[in-house]
Structure 1
Amino acid sequence: MKGKRGHPDLVGLKKASTFPGFCARHDGDIFRPIDHLGKVDSRAAFLLSYRSLCFEVHMKQVAVETLRFSRSYVDRGRSFSWQSSAQTALAEQIYLMEIGRREHLRRKQQWDLLLLEGDYRTFQFAAFELPVGFPMLASGTFLHEYDFLGRYLQPPGRFLHMYDMLAFNMARSADALWLVFGWMHDDPSGAAFVESLASLPADLFQEAVVRFCWDITDNLFIRPSWWDGKKEADKELLAQFGLTSLPGGRTPKALVPDGTKAFRA
């Protein structure tokens, strides 16, 4: 998803569905088992999660480099007060993005070993079936701060803290759409996050998934007709909601479904 101030923009289907992070040979060798997804077992869930993790590592590296470039040039010719404000804001963004990059790289080192060994016993996953016509697809990995009940799961901004991490992917099988979460067995808050989603009433489940997609990732692709059918006020609410996606910027109730029309699937 991309666009002005959180609004989506049209992109081609091939561009929307492709992560050019692997050469054709390795992409085929590693991810062939999920190119035509059947049963969501531990191997399929791991491969979906691993591809999402690799994408996030790449994107966070790009983001850090972009922010550092901005810090060097964005305030040239401005007043001292403007420079001070801009440099403070950029320093905070770089700090938070570095936390994410560090933790993603740490997790990737662990998952690289699982991939090479083909042993997924320390990998945990959960799969939720969504309606085939659900209006969006998303994937990524994230440092989960709050769950779907508004509970605080792990402290953001602690410099030397080892953060728990979750991967997620929305993937189609022959006859279903799946929301798949993956985490390591030593990340206890991963299970708590997933259990909070499973505990929601059926009539609030899809709203919670929409909230989750908009809050957690920019790697989000939505059906144009769903967006075009929203009122302008709802579009602006969604756009602003998605601008708080940095670790430390989220609010406790962000993922808690409350019947707000803008988030209806």
Structure 2
Amino acid sequence: MKIGRNEKCWCGSGKKFKRCHNGRENETPVSKGEAINHSQKNALRKCCYVPTDLKHECSKKIINAHTVSKSSSLKEIADESNHVLGLKINLANIIKNEGKLVPEKIGINQASTFKGFCSTHDKSLFSCIEDREFVGDDEQCLALMYRSVAKELYAKEGGLNNSEFAKSTDKGKHLLGQLSIQNFVADQQKALNASLAELSELKSELDDQLLGKSVGNLSHLIIDSTSPMPVAVSSIVAPINDFNGNLIQDLGDLSIVAEHLVFNSFSSDGKGYVVFSWSKNSTKVLSFINSLLALEPNKIFSALIRFFFGVAENTFTSPVWWSGLSDEQKDKTKNLIMSGVNPFKPTDNNLLVDDGINFSGWEISNLRKIHF
């Protein structure tokens, strides 16, 4: 490949070739320590995802905000040492576990936290779910949804930062290696930017509802039980396939605006809840929800387990519940956790379909449809 020194670099950086990839194969490769250091700094960046109109109220203290309540939910399922099982997703841990995501003990002070809100707004925005019993009113459901969307924005923005760093990992590699890395990162960034644009639009809608600028346009499904939920989660996903394996939406086509589903699983006052939330006009998400509701009641908990572990990383498990699982159930859960981790492995269309491996430990008492 011939390119002039003063021409724009082939990698798309916008820099001149002589200041970018000229002689890249002779540069010192990025070390493991440099990569880990970048990953750690990226995970500790601070911001407050409060609506712009409220930014002037921000305190100077950005805290470790919990996406799953520590006092009620995490403490409810923790062991005697106040630990739950969760995924420690950082580069150092991934290297240690040879690329595998493994459930490990995490203290409830650290579980589910991210530096995405200041102390003032973490209190004011989420006191409705932290300081009073969950009843499933509009304010509480909106707060749950808002926090999950903020956490996902934080994660996606972090992913974009990591992808920028990944561009430098072609140092010391031959031209084909450089091309492979730059093309992979470029494709990854296209997907990340598309997802960030969609999430930002959703957050903007939630901002307006939070500030009273628009009427609520959200639907919710609340599943509850008289016992605590052994798996706590707070996340958002654009579902691809439903619980029967049917295609919901093709996320490979970036021209299509993805429809998102927010979901939270938690405990409050000794009771367990699962809350699904989505925009009322998201017909594809409603179709996904209906495929869950069509299952036999005694199959829903197992379906939820497949869903939580199969699509969400921000998931925390009761060590007692986990220790009671059979080897087959544990292997199934570990396989669910690893689904989608390898970007070169095709998506399993039957990820959520019943395969005969069932789970117990939570009896559903009631299902509530709100603003369907």
TM-score band, normalised by the shorter chain?
0.7 to 0.9
Match of residue 66, structure 1, among 153, 162, 165: 162
- Structure 1 distance, partners of 2:270, 2:209, is 29
The normalised TM-score by structure 2 is 0.64
**Does 1:49 find its partner at 2:145?**
yes
* Aligned residue number for residue 121 of structure 1: 216
**1:232 to partner: Cα distance:** 6.0
Name the counterpart of 1:110: 205
Distance 2:262 2:197 in 1: 15
What is the distance in 1 between the residues matched to 2:186 and 2:327?
Answer: 34
In the alignment, structure 1 residue 7 sits paired with structure 2 residue 102: yes
Please name the residue that 2:33 is paired with.
none
- Segments of structure 2 that go 5 or more residues without pairing to the other structure are 1-86, 362-372
Larger radius of gyration: 2
- Structure 2 residue identity aligned to 1:38: F
CA distance in 1, matches of 2:112, 2:195: 24
After the TM superposition, which of the residue ranges 123-132 and 88-97 deviates more from structure 2?
88-97
In 1, the alpha carbon distance for the partners of 2:173 and 2:330 equals 34
Deviation at 1:31, TM superposition (A): 1.1
Give distance in 1, aligned partners of 2:106 and 2:229: 19
Q: 1-side partners of 2:323 and 2:170: how far apart?
A: 37
Task: Specify which of 87, 93, 96 is matched with residue 191 of structure 2.
Answer: 96
Give the root-mean-square deviation of aligned CA atoms. 2.6
What's 2:117 paired with? 22
Change in Cα spacing, 1:106 to 1:249, as seen in structure 2 (3 Å) is farther
Contact 1:6 1:240 in 2 (8 A): no
Aligned to 2:263: 168
Conserved? CA contact 2:235–2:262, under 8 Å: yes
Counterpart in the other structure of 1:134: 229
Match of 2:238 among 132, 143, 146: 143
- 1:78 deviates by 3.4
User: Contact (CA 8 Å) 1:37, 1:172: kept in 2 or not?
Assistant: no
Select the structure with the greater relative contact order (CA < 8 A; seq sep ≥ 6).
1
Deviation at 1:191, TM superposition (A): 1.6
Q: Is the 8 A contact 1:207 1:259 kept in 2?
A: no
1:118-172 CA distance string (max 9 Å, x none): 7553111111124624321111111111111212111212223211111111122
Corresponding residue number in structure 1 for 2:254: 159
The structure whose residues are more often helix, as a share, is 1
Query: C-alpha separation between the residues in 1 aligned to 2:324 and 2:176?
Result: 43
Counterpart Cα distance in 2 of 1:211 and 1:79: 42
Q: Distance in 2 between matches of 1:206 and 1:233?
A: 17
When residues 256 and 37 of structure 1 are mapped into structure 2, their CA distance, relative to the original with a 3 A threshold, is: farther
Percent identical: 26
**1:180 Cα deviation (Å)?**
0.4
Q: Secondary structure at the match of 1:167?
A: strand
Deviating more after overlay: 180-189 vs 231-240: 231-240
Is residue 192 from structure 1 mapped to residue 287 from structure 2 by the alignment? yes
Decide whether the 8 Å contact of 1:140 with 1:219 is kept in 2: yes
